Each structure stands twice: as C-alpha cells, then as structure tokens.
C-alpha cells in the first residue's frame, strides 16, 4: 500500500475520532472515569489482601468504557421501535434467576447467575442489565401514549408494563432492594412523563396503605429486621444490627480527614462487613474522612445532574428526555440507598454505590447507561431535523 493511501486512511480515521470526540458528551465519560478511579482506590484498601477484586473491577471498567463508546456510535432512538420485544427479552432475562439464580443465605435473595470460565468463577446480575431495558421500554411507551397517558386506556397498560418487571424481580430473585429500585425509576419517569400529580399522589397513598399487608404477609423476618434496626440500633447486634453499627462507627472514627488510606482500623482489621461492596462509603469516610465521603457525593451528584441537564436540553424529544431522567433516577436511588445504609438511615438491601462499589455487572451497566445518555445527546440534532420520524 502506497504511503499516500496510508496517509489518506489515517486522515479519515483521525477525522472520525475528532468528530466523534467532539459530539460524544466527554464530560459524562470523564466524570464516570474519575469516580471509577476513586472507587478502585477504595477497593484497593478494602480488599488489599485479595487482588482479584481489583482485577475484576478493572476489567469491568474497561468493558464498561467499551460499551459506552459502542453505544454512542448508534442512535438508540432507532431501536426504540422494538420496545415490545425488548420488554419480552427483559422479562425472560429477569425470570432466569428463578431457575439458575444463586445468592447468599443471609441476604435471602438469589439474584446472581454464576458460572465458571476455566478455573475462574464469575457471574452477572440479570436485574442490573434489565434496568436499562426497563428504562428504554418505559420511555418509548410514554412517548407512544403522548397525551393519552392520563386516560384509563393509557394508564392501565402503562401500570401493567411498569409493575410486571418489578414483580418478576421480587418474586423470582427475592431481591427487594432491586425491586424497589425499579419502582422508584418508574415513579420518577411517571412524574417527568406528564402523569397528573393527583394520580401520582394516589399511587403513593395506595403504596403506603399496602405497607401493613406487605409487612405482615409478604415480607420475611430477615426483611423486617432490616427496618427494625433503623429504629433500634441495639437490635440483633450479632447479625444485621452489627453491620450498621460497625458502619456508623467507622464513619464517626474518620473525622474530617480520616486515618489515612490503608490505615482504617475497622477496615483493615476485618471489623467492617462487605466493605468492598455495601459499605465502601464507610471505608472512604474512615480512611479519608468527611472530605473523602463528600468527594463521593459531589462526583455522583455531578453525574446525576449532567444526565438531568442533558434530558432537559432534549425535552422536545420525549423519548430522549425520559431516557435521561430514567438513568438519573437509577443513579439517584442507588446513591441514596447505599449511603443511607452506611449511615443507618436506610435498610441494608445490597445495592451498590454507583461506580464506587465492587461489582462487575453494576459497573458495566452504569457505563452503558451513561453511553445511552451520550448517544441520545450526540444524535439529537439529526432527530430534530427529521421530526416527522421522531415525534415530540
């Protein structure tokens, strides 16, 4: 091949990447990478005796970044027409835990599908991947309904669409935290999607009225224990109460600047349970102090606000706006619940802290979700110019 041809090909490749980077929403990716790097640093301290955690997390981040780039190449709005098929695929995905799901006895759920690749055991959490499909199908359903969303004929199918995946997660994997996460995403998307406030309030009242039924007839004792300990810190200190007591102690010990990375007493001497996953925020606070915990809040808040801002900038494109709102809702709920677990103001339900906690499936899902936001933003101008195809 002649040198002129090589220069021509190289020039085209460089031009493609230059144009790609200009329109790919780099700030969102930069924020995610900085947050993930911070998470890797905390995992290296929480699990310094087991390098496998760092390796798995690093591979997951690399896969997540790859997914981000690939997703941004395509306009996801073109795939939205397949939303009914995506809903069926999601239900099948969520139902796999009924047959193949495994978990830990103390958590009471079986939300993981595990398998071996040679001598390495790995796995994934179907409900994590299912959240992206859930957001996509709901966004398209809202778009199709338009103003009919507040009619009986529009609202009932939408509620069925929203609640069936929640039921699948709860009944098949017994993962109540993930089920509530799905429900929260729908509530926020419903509000942003134009459902009348009176309907939203009526739904919340109905949920509140159903709490005694769930408490007495649906929830197991291990689930009730998670709430009881929030009001009685001395409750079951040999199990669920111990976890949150140690977490609060670690946070209090950290003070303003912490004991120093790799020097947290509770973290390093095995007194903080599931420290690389559920209680990674406590690791940050004990070893890096209030400043370390605040850094997590600021980074995740920046990512969430960026998703919301991108959604608002595309508010005349109903599908894109709702997709961004759904991703922001997913990140908001997991952030609040995980940090609440660490502070003892939310039940321990096993939800990861986005981009910070150890968890391959969660990390890949989060990067993929941000890739969708970036894709929608990148292709927005073209969609607006073809409004006859992409309706508001």
In tens, the pLDDT along 283-305 reads 999 999 999 999 999 999 999 99
pLDDT above 50 (res 390): no
Residue with the larger pLDDT of the pair 1 and 31: 31
Asked if residue 1 belongs to a domain, the reply is no
Beta carbons of 118 and 366 less than 8 angstroms apart: no
pLDDT for position 23? 62
Q: Compute CA distances 343 → 20, 203, 347, whole Å.
A: 42, 29, 10
Whole-angstrom distance, CA of residue 34 vs CA of residue 94? 31
More confident residue, 4 or 187: 187
Is residue 11 domain-resident? no
**Measured distance CA(79)–CA(327) in Å, rounded:** 17
Q: How far is CA 76 from the centre of its chain?
A: 19
For the chain, the domain total comes to: 1
Q: Say whether 146 sits in a helix, a strand or coil.
A: helix
Band (270; pLDDT cuts 50, 70, 90): confident
Indicate the average pLDDT of the chain. 86
Is 16 within a domain?
no
pLDDT digits (tens, 9 = 90+) for 86-116: 999 999 999 998 887 776 544 556 777 877 6
Domain that holds residue 32: 23-385
Q: What is the pLDDT of residues 358-370, one digit of tens each?
A: 988 899 999 999 9
17 occurs within a structural domain:
no
With bands split at pLDDT 50, 70 and 90, how would you rate the model's confidence at 322?
very high
Q: Does any domain span residue 6?
A: no
User: Per the domain annotation, does 33 fall within a domain?
Assistant: yes
Q: CA dist 209 to 168, 214, 248, 263, Å?
A: 22, 10, 32, 47
What are residue 355's phi and psi, to 5 degrees?
Answer: 70, -10
Percent of the chain past pLDDT 70, that is, above it, reads: 87
Q: What are phi and psi of 327, to 5 degrees?
A: -65, -45
- Identify the three-state secondary structure at position 273: coil
Residue 9 has pLDDT above 70, yes or no: no
Tell me whether residue 9 is in a domain. no
CA–CA separation, 93 and 98 (whole Å) = 10
pLDDT of residue 158: 95
pLDDT surpasses 50 at 392: no
User: CB under 8 Å, gap of 24 or more: what pairs does 91-94 form?
Assistant: 91/164, 91/165, 91/168, 93/126, 93/129, 93/130, 93/133, 94/126, 94/127, 94/130, 94/165, 94/168, 94/169, 94/172, 94/173
Q: Where is pLDDT greater, at 300 or 76?
A: 300
For 154-199, how does the pLDDT look when each residue is reduced to its tens digit (9 = 90+)? 899 999 999 999 999 988 888 888 999 999 999 999 999 989 888 8
252: pLDDT strictly greater than 50: yes
DSSP 298: H
CA distance 162 to 78: 22
Q: What is the mean pLDDT of residues 336-359?
A: 91
120 pLDDT tier (thresholds 50, 70, 90): low
Q: Is residue 31 domain-resident?
A: yes
51-77 average pLDDT score: 91
**1-15, 115-129, 356-370, range with the lowest pLDDT:** 1-15
Per the document, the length of the chain is: 392
Residue 105 is predicted with a pLDDT of 47
DSSP string, 203-254: HHHHHHHHHHHIIIIIS-HHHHHHHHHHH-TTTTTTTHHHHHHHHHHHHHHH
Q: Are 139 and 323 in contact (CB under 8 A)?
A: yes
> Which pLDDT belongs to residue 10?
66
């Amino acid at each position: 091949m002649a040198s002129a041809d090589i220069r021509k090909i190289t020039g085209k490749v460089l031009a493609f990447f230059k144009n790609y980077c200009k329109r790919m929403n780099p700030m969102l990716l930069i924020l995610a990478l900085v947050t993930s790097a911070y998470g890797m640093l905390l995992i290296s301290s929480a699990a310094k005796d087991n390098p496998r955690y760092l390796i798995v997390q690093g591979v997951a981040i690399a896969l997540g970044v790859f997914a981000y780039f690939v997703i941004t190449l395509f306009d996801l709005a073109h795939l939205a027409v397949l939303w009914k098929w995506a809903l069926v695929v999601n239900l099948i995905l969520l139902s796999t835990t009924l047959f193949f799901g495994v978990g830990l006895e103390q958590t009471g759920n079986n939300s993981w599908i595990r398998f071996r690749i040679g001598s390495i055991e790995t796995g994934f959490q179907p409900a994590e991947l299912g959240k992206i499909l859930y957001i996509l199908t709901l966004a398209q359903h809202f778009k199709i309904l338009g103003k009919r969303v507040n009619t009986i004929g529009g609202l009932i199918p939408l509620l069925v669409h929203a609640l069936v995946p929640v039921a699948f997660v709860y009944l098949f994997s017994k993962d109540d935290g993930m089920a509530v996460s799905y429900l929260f995403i729908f509530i926020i998307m419903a509000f942003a999607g134009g459902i009348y406030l009176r309907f939203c309030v009526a739904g919340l009242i109905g949920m509140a009225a159903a709490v005694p039924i769930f408490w007495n007839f649906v929830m197991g004792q291990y689930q009730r224990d998670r709430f009881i300990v929030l009001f009685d810190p001395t409750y079951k200190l040999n199990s669920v109460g111990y976890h949150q007591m140690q977490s609060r102690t670690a946070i209090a010990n950290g003070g303003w600047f912490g004991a120093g990375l790799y020097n947290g007493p509770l973290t390093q001497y095995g007194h903080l349970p599931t420290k690389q996953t559920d209680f990674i925020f406590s690791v940050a606070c004990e070893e890096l102090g209030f400043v370390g915990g605040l850094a997590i809040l600021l980074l995740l808040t920046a990512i969430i606000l960026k998703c919301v801002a991108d959604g608002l900038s595309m508010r005349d494109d109903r599908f894109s706006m709702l997709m961004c709102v759904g991703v922001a809702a997913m990140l908001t709920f997991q952030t609040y619940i995980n940090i609440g677990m660490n502070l003892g103001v939310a039940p321990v339900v096993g939800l990861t802290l986005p981009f910070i906690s150890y968890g391959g499936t969660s990390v890949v899902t989060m990067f993929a979700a941000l890739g969708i936001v970036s894709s929608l933003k990148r292709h927005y101008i073209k969609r607006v110019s073809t409004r006859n195809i992409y309706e508001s």
